[in-house]
Amino acid sequence: MRKSFEGLFGLVRDRLSCDPMSGHVFLFSNAQRNRLKLLFWDGSGLWVCAKRLEKGRFRWPEPCSGETKITLTQEEMALLLGGIDLSQTRRRAWYRAEPNGQKNDQTKQ
């Protein structure tokens, strides 16, 4: 986990095929899953934040087969950063409006 601003920016752009300056938060982990780095564009510059666990590991959800990225809600990201194993949780079906005004029904169980 040696990448910083430019390295993480390149990963988002090239490997994830996303726009690093979109305003989305991009979260990366090392192989041991005990360190995280977060990349975020706030409109005026890039933020890179890091967290290292003294004990334990972050428990990421499993990606779907063939997927290179996992999309988390802000609640799921807060749970992950708080040490909650997301594989032991489930989403409840409810209505959630997308930020751009489109409708989205969260029906994933």
User: What pLDDT, on the 0 to 100 scale, is given for residue 61?
Assistant: 82
Answer yes or no: is pLDDT of 5 > 70.
yes
Q: Quickly tell me which residue has 């690093």 as its tokens.
A: 20
Provide the b/e sequence for 33-43 (b: ≥16 CB within 10 Å). ebbbbbbbbee
pLDDT, residue 100, reads 65
Contacts of 18 (CB under 8 A, 6+ apart): 12, 24, 26, 69
Greatest Cα-to-Cα distance within the chain, rounded to the nearest angstrom: 41
Share of the chain above pLDDT 90, in %: 49
Cα Rg of the chain, angstroms? 15
Q: What confidence category does residue 88 fall into, taking pLDDT thresholds of 50, 70 and 90?
A: confident
pLDDT tens-digit map of 50-83: 999 999 999 888 777 888 888 888 888 999 998 8
**Beta partners for residue 106, in sequence order:** 94
The secondary structure of residue 23, as a DSSP letter, is S
Cβ 26 vs Cβ 8: under 8 Å: yes
Residue 108 pLDDT: 45
- Residue matched to tokens 């989205």: 104
Q: How does pLDDT run across 14-28, given as a tens digit for each residue?
A: 999 999 999 999 999
